[in-house]
Amino acid sequence: MSEERGDVDNQRKASPGLDPSGAVPYETTYHKGPVILRGDMIPDESTSEHLLRPDDSPDWLHTDPWRVLRIQAEFVDGFSALAGLGPAVACFGSARTGREDAAYVAARTAGGLLAKAGYAVITGGGPGIMEAANRGCAEAGGKSVGLGIELPHEEGINRWVNMGITFRYFFVRKVMFMKYSSGGIVFPGGFGTLDEAFEMLTLIQTHKAKSMPVVFFGSEYWGGLFDWISGPVTSHGMISAPDRTLVTITDDVEEAVRVATGAAAR
Ligand SMILES: C/C(=C\CNc1ncnc2c1ncn2[C@@H]1O[C@H](COP(=O)(O)O)[C@@H](O)[C@H]1O)CO
């Protein structure tokens, strides 16, 4: 071990005549960063010995301090991978949409149009709408990004992604969606899609994020939700009238892409 260790029992050797009370100064000094320790304060085990000692149990892996480091590592990996991405639009939508579904066809078309307009497509990297948007983008030669999430029994990132990152924590992944997109297209979906769309809207509404276009594709699917938002949610004062203007609803893929890329007035 590199730290200077002394035999504690031999540290305080008598120095006859130094002090009539018999007290003698400490002989050995142990350095621990900026701290010095002497006498009984010197630990039995040096820092290096502690580091290199095999663990008795791996329980510490499940403690919050260690979890915080894993979360930090996930942010570092995400930021490092995405920092140079360039302009991008997030596409959200159901993981369950079949390949024959009209919404799949629309998302694939949108992915292609976004790539041709010079935008990367960022999805959750899963099946359904995510696969469709990644597929359209990859087919058009664009940057097709999948921000996957570790889920038991899931296949992993779809084969149309050319830059994929798998996250353990949903909230870290959400930061990546927000930080690296300048607009979003929300295709029909369930709880996951609603969560992502409303996260985006809430951050914009509260000015935690810059204002960006959010397009809901599919008026028949989303109409009921927005009738309710424009009706009871607004009349009860739960949102203000301008909040309703944060979203565009359309059935036209080209319009969805124009609005999401900021190429059309909202
Ligand atoms: C449940 C199924 C697949 C799950 N796989 C997913 N992979 C990646 N991202 C996912 C997955 N499921 C949900 N998401 C995220 O939520 C949105 C879709 O959720 P919804 O509840 O289906 O609307 C999507 O945008 C993803 O970011 C089926 O095999």
Q: Which residue has the tokens 């939508």?
A: 93
* Same domain assignment for residues 207 and 246: yes
The predicted model scores a pTM of: 0.84
* Same domain assignment for residues 206 and 116: yes
* Same domain assignment for residues 41 and 169: no
CA angle 250, 93, 114 (to 5 degrees): 65
Give how many domains the chain has, as a whole number: 2
* Same domain assignment for residues 138 and 234: yes
Query: Which residue's CA lies nearest to atom 15 of ligand 1?
Result: 192
* Same domain assignment for residues 34 and 153: no
Query: Which residue's CA lies nearest to atom 12 of ligand 1?
Result: 95
* Same domain assignment for residues 150 and 86: yes
Separation of 108 CA from ligand 1 center, angstroms? Answer: 17
pLDDT (tens place) for every residue of the chain, 266 residues total: 334 444 434 444 444 455 677 889 999 999 988 999 999 999 998 888 888 988 889 998 999 999 999 999 999 999 999 999 999 999 999 999 999 999 999 999 999 999 999 999 999 999 999 999 999 999 999 999 999 999 887 788 999 999 999 999 999 999 999 999 999 999 999 999 999 999 999 999 999 999 999 999 999 999 999 999 999 999 999 998 888 888 999 999 999 999 999 987 65
Asked whether residue 265 is assigned to any structural domain, the reply reads: no
Which range of residues forms the domain containing residue 243? 69-260
Cα(177)–Cα(1) distance, rounded to whole angstroms?
Answer: 47
Cβ burial, residue 101 (10 Å; 0-12/13-18/19+): middle
Asked whether residue 60 is assigned to any structural domain, the reply reads: no
Cα(182)–Cα(119) distance, rounded to whole angstroms?
Answer: 10
* Ligand 1 proximity of 149 Cβ (cutoff 6 Å): yes
